[in-house]
Amino acid sequence: MHPTPSAAAQAAADPRWQEAADLLLQHWQRGAHCAGLPAACRPADRAEGYAVQRELVRRSGDSVAGWKIAATSTAGQQHIGVDGPLAGRLRASRLAGAGATVSLAGSRMGVAEAEFAFRFGQRLAPRAEPYRQDEVMAAVDTLHPAIELPDSRFEDFVHAGAPQLIADCACANWLVVGPAVMVPWRGIDLAAHAVRFDIDDRPVATGQGANVLGDPRIALTWIVNELSRYTEGVFVGDLVTTGTCVVPVPIAPGQRLRVDYGVLGSLSATLA
């Protein structure tokens, strides 16, 4: 569980990022969208984007359940107009279990993604030296299939830019998470592992783990080091979803989604 920021830390927060967070939160609460943050409180780089992001979640009153990585595939980067990955906090109230019915009310992106998610069993605190992949994987407890339904408060999210998208939790919205994979997954080549996405029992997309920065474990190592640099790092129990293995799939209310990971299991959700 992520600790609650101290009163001193809250008081020291930059008023510009508080203003930006309040504006984004108001748009989320109303299901509304905006052209962009005002120039006076618009983050100019990653560090400022993550500062707004932290304020947004804190001021929402929600708890942090973990993290997502946006734009770990070429298709994902093209979809939101960035040239590299972004990290975003996952709000606990936006996690759903296998078979859940999820509302698309207020959604602008209108896509779903099939992802590998990892739950951490060890704390990885910020440090000067980058974490190695073997260290990151040793800290992982379980692997889960996941379906992400991303969204953004920006009308033109393709041109909002990385700092603003980071401020808006890197397009985090709903994440449907399946039970922990029970087969010995650590010996499986996740990069080569195939994933199929079905809508209403009809295959609509296929992909593999290599579409996620070459390997979901590479993506996981990337985010651990990104969080080490810009945040408080990874906590025990954090769930990290590593990006889409398929081209983002257009969706609509009333559809039933299913992702099939073969021996690693499957996961379904219904759209309201």
Cα–Cα separations (whole angstroms), residue 187 to 184, 191, 193, 209, 245: 6, 12, 12, 14, 19
Contacts of 269 (CB under 8 A, 6+ apart): 96, 98, 99, 100, 101, 102, 147, 176, 256, 257
pLDDT digits (tens, 9 = 90+) for 212-235: 999 999 999 999 999 999 999 999
The confidence score (pLDDT) of residue 73 equals 77
The confidence score (pLDDT) of residue 83 equals 80
Q: Which amino acid is at 212?
A: V
Domains of the chain: 7-271 (3.90.850.10)
pLDDT digits (tens, 9 = 90+) for 57-99: 999 999 999 999 998 877 778 877 888 899 999 999 999 999 9
